[in-house]
């Protein structure tokens, strides 16, 4: 019996899942939808041109091998790319695997409705009458790409941001919307894009501004009856970086003026970079016409950094400051502070300050006492990373083996113990626990917890393991 296109693609996903990281699979393969199978040609739908380009650049070999394994040596993949430019109803169009120039049409530039040589346009940042070339970009030089640590948690946003910095206004991700929780690096990345543009194109006018400041400037322009100058100034910017656009929620007049500025910049092939605390689909109090424009380019998320990235961030910070710190202390900080980068760097600064002011050597004991004070007023939650470390150290197993697909009895048992403690000591969902323990599903986690509970009731030696591990994890 011939396979359906859904079956073929699901079989491909099973293979792909074993060859990429969990986060890469969630980001790049879960959004894909199979459309049809004609002979040996499978058609899949991808969300955007950028999505297609990323697959072609980073996963072409894996896709080719997977498709040929499922459909034979003549197997081919065809992409259907959704082009949502917000200006017209565009049907998906297809390109032949392994990919050719799609010839996607861009919105043609239109004439600017103002005299760019005029010297009378008021700059809302400083004083009236300032010329365009004198605009201060308001970028923080410390927030560069060199200081931004890349990991699975931010690779998409970082790569897209770097591409914008190399070719502003001429990529398929305009606007670029970077979203994520507090302290994950949105502002850092936004500044880095602006700095990269200024380094590559010194004559371009780059401006970083928060949505709150933009709103206040608009209010002032209404009071002073110079809204035209306000709008014209922003229409002169080559790269506009707007931080925290969720602040526009509920402010209809501000959204309206930004809508027109956005349209003019976009049609003139100027680059727009936005940051927000959530994706467009979750933003409340925003006009739909503005949200639709936020979706024209690419929305890239920043997630909580994984353990390896947290360690790399600490190492980079220490290296920049010329400070040497024992690896066990660095690891302890990375295991203990897992919510966001800002808190992680704050904990490091607190530790360094304590050691310096009290003339103490930086030790693991000092780090533990500092961490207890640092999070004293917040409910502490053990991280899954830390549980894995304690369990692996206890059974003398490498963490990589714990996260692998191996079915060796001692590894399986250690993995089940990690799942057991993660379920009882963290707020993570069963799916999240399974994903961090070798890509298992929620049913596997439930089975692991039942198995551990049964062994606690029936095996005295195993009960001793759990008791000792419980004490080690609890006193972190």
Residue 187 sits in the same domain as residue 218: yes
Q: Residue 343 is part of which domain span?
A: 307-374
- Reported as a single tens digit per residue, the pLDDT across 256-282 is 899 989 988 888 889 999 999 888 888
Q: What is the CATH number of the domain that holds 430?
A: 1.10.1750.10
Better pLDDT: 111 or 399: 399
Residue 67 sits in the same domain as residue 15: yes
Q: What is the CATH number of the domain that holds 314?
A: 1.10.8.60
Task: Encode burial over 253-277: b for 16+ CB neighbours within 10 A, e otherwise.
Answer: ebbebbeebbbbbbebbbbbbbbbb
Which of 315, 342, 374 is the endpoint of a domain? 374
Residue 125 lies in a domain: no
Strands 41-46, 33-38: pairing is antiparallel
CA distances from 436 to 11, 179, 400 (A): 23, 23, 11
Q: Write down the pLDDT at residue 192.
A: 93
Dihedral pair phi/psi, residue 108, rounded to 5°: -65, 145
Strands 76-81, 93-96: pairing is antiparallel
Length, in residues, of the chain: 476
Residue 293 sits in the same domain as residue 319: no
Strands (DSSP E) found in 20-119? 33-38, 41-46, 76-81, 93-96
- pTM reported for the whole predicted model: 0.56
- Edge-to-edge strand ranges of the sheet holding 176-180: 206-210, 239-243, 271-276, 176-180, 298-302
What would you report as the CA-atom Rg of the chain, rounded to the nearest whole angstrom? 26
Residue 328 sits in the same domain as residue 392: no
- Reported as a single tens digit per residue, the pLDDT across 156-173 is 888 889 989 988 988 878
Q: Write down the pLDDT at residue 457.
A: 84
Answer whether 415's CB lies under 8 Å from 448's CB: yes
Structure tokens at 143: 């927030």
Closest CA to 281 of 316, 246, 250: 246
Closest CA to 311 of 294, 287, 327, 293: 327
Residues in contact with 96: Cβ distance below 8 Å, sequence separation at least 6, in sequence order: 76, 78
- Packing angle, helices 211-223 and 227-235, rounded to 10: 140
Strands (DSSP E) found in 206-350? 206-210, 239-243, 271-276, 298-302
Q: Write down the pLDDT at residue 87.
A: 38
Residue 16 lies in a domain: yes
Residues in contact with 218: Cβ distance below 8 Å, sequence separation at least 6, in sequence order: 227, 230, 253, 254, 257
User: Could you tell me the pLDDT band of residue 381, with boundaries at 50, 70 and 90?
Assistant: low
Residue 126 lies in a domain: no
Structure tokens at 468: 């000792």
Q: Where are the alpha helices (DSSP H) in 2-118?
A: 5-17, 22-28, 49-58, 60-71
Q: How far apart are CA 348 and CA 371, in angstroms?
A: 10
Residue 179 sits in the same domain as residue 247: yes
Region 37-61 average pLDDT? 82
Residue 326 sits in the same domain as residue 274: no
- Domains in the chain, number: 4
Residue 188 lies in a domain: yes
Q: How far apart are CA 45 and CA 154, in angstroms?
A: 24
* Chain centre to alpha carbon of residue 183: 12
Structure tokens at 85: 């430019």
Q: Say if residue 343's pLDDT is above 60.
A: yes
Q: Write down the pLDDT at residue 113.
A: 35
Q: What residues pair up with 298 in beta bridges, in sequence order? A: 176
- Separation of first and last alpha carbons in the chain: 57
Residue 467 lies in a domain: yes
**SS3 (DSSP) at 424:** helix
Lowest-pLDDT range of 105-114, 427-436, 455-464: 105-114
Residue 283 lies in a domain: yes
Residue 76 lies in a domain: yes
Residue 316 sits in the same domain as residue 367: yes
Residue 200 sits in the same domain as residue 322: no
Answer whether 327's CB lies under 8 Å from 314's CB: no
Residue 192 sits in the same domain as residue 246: yes
Q: Say if residue 387's pLDDT is above 80.
A: yes
- Reported as a single tens digit per residue, the pLDDT across 270-313 is 999 999 988 888 888 888 888 888 888 888 888 888 777 888 88
Structure tokens at 408: 């060796």
Q: Where are the alpha helices (DSSP H) in 83-242?
A: 155-166, 186-200, 211-223, 227-235
Residue 221 sits in the same domain as residue 291: yes
Region 177-200 average pLDDT? 89
Rounding to the nearest 10 degrees, give the CA dihedral for residues 323, 325, 327, 329: -130
User: How many other C-beta atoms are found inside a 10 Å radius of the C-beta of residue 433?
Assistant: 24
Residue 298 sits in the same domain as residue 312: no
Residue 295 sits in the same domain as residue 330: no
Q: How far apart are CA 162 and CA 145, in angstroms?
A: 8
Residue 102 lies in a domain: no
């Amino acid at each position: 019996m011939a396979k359906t296109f859904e079956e073929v693609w699901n079989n491909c996903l099973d293979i792909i899942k074993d060859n990429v990281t969990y986060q890469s699979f969630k980001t790049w393969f879960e959004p894909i939808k199979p459309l049809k199978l004609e002979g040996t040609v499978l058609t899949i739908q991808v969300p955007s041109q950028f999505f297609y380009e990323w697959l072609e650049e980073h996963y072409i070999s894996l896709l080719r091998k997977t498709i040929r394994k499922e459909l034979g040596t003549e197997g081919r993949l065809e992409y259907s790319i959704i082009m949502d430019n917000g200006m017209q109803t565009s049907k998906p169009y297809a390109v032949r695997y392994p990919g050719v120039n799609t010839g996607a049409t861009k919105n043609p530039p239109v004439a600017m409705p103002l005299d760019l040589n005029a010297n009378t346009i008021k700059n809302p940042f400083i004083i009236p009458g300032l010329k365009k070339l004198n605009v201060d970009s308001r970028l923080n030089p410390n927030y560069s790409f060199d200081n931004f640590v890349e990991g699975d948690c931010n690779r998409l946003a970082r790569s897209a941001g770097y591409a914008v910095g190399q070719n502003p206004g001429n990529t398929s991700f305009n606007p670029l919307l970077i979203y994520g929780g507090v302290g994950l690096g949105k502002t850092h990345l936004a500044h880095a894009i602006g700095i990269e543009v200024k380094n590559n194109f010194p004559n371009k006018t780059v401006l970083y501004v928060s949505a709150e400041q933009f709103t206040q400037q608009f209010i002032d322009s209404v009071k002073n009856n110079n809204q035209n100058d306000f709008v014209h100034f922003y229409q002169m910017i080559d790269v506009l970086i707007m931080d925290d656009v969720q602040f526009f929620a509920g402010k209809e007049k501000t959204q309206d003026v930004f809508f027109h500025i956005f349209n003019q910049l976009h049609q003139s092939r100027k680059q727009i970079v936005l940051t927000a605390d959530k994706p467009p689909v979750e933003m409340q109090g925003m006009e739909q016409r503005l949200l639709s424009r936020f979706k024209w380019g690419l929305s890239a998320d920043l997630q909580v950094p994984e353990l390896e990235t947290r360690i790399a961030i600490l190492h980079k910070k220490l290296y920049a400051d010329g400070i040497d710190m024992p690896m066990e202390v660095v690891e302890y900080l990375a295991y203990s502070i897992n919510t966001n980068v800002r808190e992680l760097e704050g904990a490091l600064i607190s530790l360094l300050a304590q050691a310096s002011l009290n003339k103490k050597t930086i030790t693991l004991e000092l780090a533990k006492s500092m961490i207890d004070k640092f999070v004293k007023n917040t409910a502490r939650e053990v991280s899954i990373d830390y549980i894995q470390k304690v369990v692996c150290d206890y059974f003398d197993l490498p963490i990589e083996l714990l996260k692998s697909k191996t079915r060796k009895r001692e590894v399986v048992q250690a993995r089940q113990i990690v799942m057991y403690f993660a379920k009882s000591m963290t707020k993570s969902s069963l799916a999240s626990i399974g994903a961090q323990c070798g890509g298992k599903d929620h049913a596997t986690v439930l089975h692991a917890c039942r198995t551990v509970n049964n062994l606690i009731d029936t095996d005295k030696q195993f009960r001793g393991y759990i008791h000792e591990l419980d004490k080690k994890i609890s006193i972190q």
